[in-house]
Structure 1
Amino acid sequence: MLGKQFFNGDKYQTSGSKRIIFDKIFLNTRWYFVYTYVKVIIQARRLVGKGSFNMEKFANSSYKILQNIENCGGKVFIDGIENIKKAKGPVVFVSNHMSVLETFVFPCIIVPMKKITFVIKDVLTSIPAFGPIMKSLDPIVVSRKNSRQDLINVINQGKDRIANGTSVVLFPEGTRRVEFDPEKFNSLGIKLAKEAGVPIIPIAIKTDFWGNGKLIKDIGPIRRKEPICISFGEPIIISGNGKAEHKQIIEFITNRINDFKNIKI
């Protein structure tokens, strides 16, 4: 274990309403929520500056954001947590990508069991406060300008991180999408898992609770009626050219997203 385990068992679901009065004072706007997550980022940035930001504090910061989501009326459903434990050692995680929420919440679910880093766009490393936090996690940085070079970087650096015991999280769609598009979900995760000789774990998410902003992408609308759903699939071993496993991952994400429509919290 890499610190406190925040969730017991295979599932987690928000029980009742945890929304607090401070959120209601802001008249159902996004601003109390923005204040709470920015506060967590600033606290984490200070720890980075002191050289004391580690995986345990990364997970703790992530859990604070999840609690803030619930305090602002968010309802969370997570399942498949036990699948993270089934794979011994590091893995490759691949997920569809809807909002910034999954980037902030994944650590508190995964990190107590596996050390992680992310594949991120280079522009994220230059964002004040957030950039230094991401750089402290030794991410794999891509430009999105040269796909061949990005592929080489992800494979080579990903193998290096995995060899040192760190699992890699990546979003094969490349950007946030309101609807999951299998055609845009590339096989980069499959290639990395095969080259590194580790399992791949698919993640299906529905995180439109936290919308994308028009002016500032990470400050979008808060949709309190939309449940937050995160589902981890079984670890998959890559064999052959990986096409069958890629299809299996696409089917898992597609089916779970359809299942999320029936979840009532």
Structure 2
Amino acid sequence: MFRVILPSILFYAQAAVHIGSAAYQAKRGRLSNERLVQGSHALRRSLESVGVRFEVSGVENVDWSGGPFVFAANHMSALETQILPSVLSPAGPCTFVVKSSLMRYPVFGSVLKAFDPIVVQRADAKADLRQVLQEGGRRLAEGRSVIVFPQAHRTEAFDRRGFNTIGVRLARSAGVPVVPVALHTTTWTQGRWISDIGWIVPKRPARFAVGAPIPVGTESREAQEHLVSFIEARLADWALPSAGSA
């Protein structure tokens, strides 16, 4: 247990400084996207400093000049929301599709607002879709990539039935490619009382795999199949559970 407690204490001490500094800048309107990415890199270095090993693949195979992109990823923990901006930094400025409750988080909420995210309520699926297509389309037209987690909840086991088509639909509507991102981030566990504050388990590597951009034309179903198959294949490579596979 000591191998988990000490790294967790050391990491959260560093994270509090990074996020607190970002929140201070955000409240004064000085938190640019560039600084947000720098903060993401700093949090990654903090995780590495307590023993977390990162495995990132596929970034070098993407022609980043073809952006902006819609990035569609599976969702396991709080780690990816903190680290993906650094992993995907070659794509340039980015933002997230997030649930409204995150915007009310103390300190972190003000940092998240600096990303100018697309906020959904998770109460009306049709209204959320309209919001994502309209606001996501505007961000993409401005040259900002959009990161979306099409799963309703964070989960280690990947179920294609719960991975909705919002990423593909946004990409098709905006006329941009969708890029699959597979990840395994259970090195940052779910917290018992606060879900975003769990143990840091250094023996578990943090894995990210970026796939080739998928053009989305009239065959949205085919694009969704490519997207889901990529994530399933990477999780299989990492010997992780997958549910509902065809």
Into which bin does the TM-score normalised by the smaller protein fall? over 0.9
Contact 1:94–1:171 under 8 Å retained in 2: yes
Runs (4 or more) in structure 1 with deviation over 3 Å come to 24-29, 83-87
**What's the TM-score, normalizing by structure 2?**
0.92
Secondary structure of the 1:30 match is helix
Contact 2:67–2:91 under 8 Å retained in 1: no
Cα distance in 2 for residues equivalent to 1:145 and 1:242: 25
- Number of residues of Structure 1 aligned to a counterpart in Structure 2: 239
Secondary structure of the 2:158 match is coil
State the one-letter code of the partner of 1:249.
L
**Pairing 1:152–2:122 present:** no
**What's the TM-score, normalizing by structure 1?**
0.86
1:41 pairs with one of 19, 29, 38: 19
**Pairing 1:217–2:217 present:** no
Cα distance in 2 for residues equivalent to 1:227 and 1:28: 17
Contact 1:95–1:205 under 8 Å retained in 2: yes
Contact 2:96–2:118 under 8 Å retained in 1: yes
**Pairing 1:94–2:82 present:** no
- Partner residue, 1:180: 158
- Partner residue, 2:97: 119
Alpha carbon RMSD of aligned pairs, Å? 1.7
Contact 1:84–1:113 under 8 Å retained in 2: no
Contact 2:137–2:174 under 8 Å retained in 1: yes
- Partner residue, 2:204: 226
State the one-letter code of the partner of 1:36.
Q
Cα distance in 2 for residues equivalent to 1:25 and 1:178: 22
**Pairing 1:191–2:169 present:** yes
Cα 1:171–1:26 shift into 2, 3 Å: closer
Secondary structure of the 1:168 match is strand
How far 1:112 moved relative to its partner? 4.1
Larger mean Cα displacement after TM superposition, 119-128 or 31-40: 31-40
- Partner residue, 1:57: 35
How far 1:114 moved relative to its partner? 1.6
Cα distance in 1 for residues equivalent to 2:7 and 2:93: 35
- Partner residue, 1:11: none
State the one-letter code of the partner of 1:101.
L
**Which runs of no fewer than 5 residues in structure 2 stay unpaired?**
241-246
How far 1:86 moved relative to its partner? 4.0
Larger mean Cα displacement after TM superposition, 240-249 or 121-130: 240-249
What are the Cα deviations for residues 109-134 of structure 1, in whole angstroms up to 9, with x where unaligned?
A: 22343210000000011111111111
What are the Cα deviations for residues 121-151 of structure 1, in whole angstroms up to 9, with x where unaligned?
A: 0001111111111112111000110111000
Contact 2:7–2:50 under 8 Å retained in 1: no
What are the Cα deviations for residues 81-132 of structure 1, in whole angstroms up to 9, with x where unaligned?
A: 1244345131100000000101111111223432100000000111111111
Cα distance in 1 for residues equivalent to 2:137 and 2:5: 48
Q: How does 1:53-92 map to 2 (within 5 A)?
A: 53-86=31-64, 88-92=66-70
Cα distance in 2 for residues equivalent to 1:92 and 1:85: 14
**Pairing 1:238–2:216 present:** yes
- Partner residue, 1:21: none
How far 1:33 moved relative to its partner? 1.6
Write 1 or 2 for the structure with the bigger share of helix: 2
Query: How many percent identity over aligned positions?
Result: 34
Cα 1:53–1:85 shift into 2, 3 Å: farther
**Pairing 1:202–2:180 present:** yes
How far 1:193 moved relative to its partner? 0.3
- Partner residue, 2:118: 140
**Which runs of no fewer than 5 residues in structure 1 stay unpaired?**
1-23
